[in-house]
Amino acid sequence: MNEPNSTGQARAHGAIPGSAEPGIPGPTVVVFDYGSGNVRSAVRALERVGAAVTLTADPVAALACDGLFVPGVGNFHACLAGLREADGPRIIDVRLAGGRPVFGVCVGMQVLFDGSTEPAETTYAGLGEWPGLVSRLQAPVVPHMGWSTVDVGAGSRLFAGVEAERFYFVHSYAAQQWLLVPDGPFERVAPVVTWAEHGSRFVAAVENGPLSATQFHPEKSGDAGAVLLENWVKSL
The reported pLDDT for the residue numbered 4 is 52
Looking at domain 26-234, does it have CATH number 3.30.10.20?
no
Determine whether 219 is an active site residue.
yes
The reported pLDDT for the residue numbered 110 is 98
Mean pLDDT, consecutive 10-residue stretches, the chain (236 aa), reads: 43 46 82 90 97 98 98 95 97 98 98 97 96 97 98 98 98 97 80 97 98 98 98 98
The reported pLDDT for the residue numbered 20 is 54
| Spans of all domains in the chain | 26-234
Q: Which of 165, 207, 219, 230 is catalytic?
A: 219
Q: Which of 144, 171, 217, 230 is catalytic?
A: 217
Q: Which of 65, 79, 106, 118 is catalytic?
A: 106
Categorise residue 116: left if φ over 0, alpha if ψ from -120 to 50, beta otherwise: beta
The pTM (predicted TM-score) of the whole model is: 0.90
d(CA 137, CA 178): 15
The reported pLDDT for the residue numbered 22 is 60
Task: Please check whether residue 75 is in contact with residue 36, taking contact to mean a CB–CB distance below 8 angstroms.
Answer: no
Determine whether 65 is an active site residue.
no
Determine whether 79 is an active site residue.
no
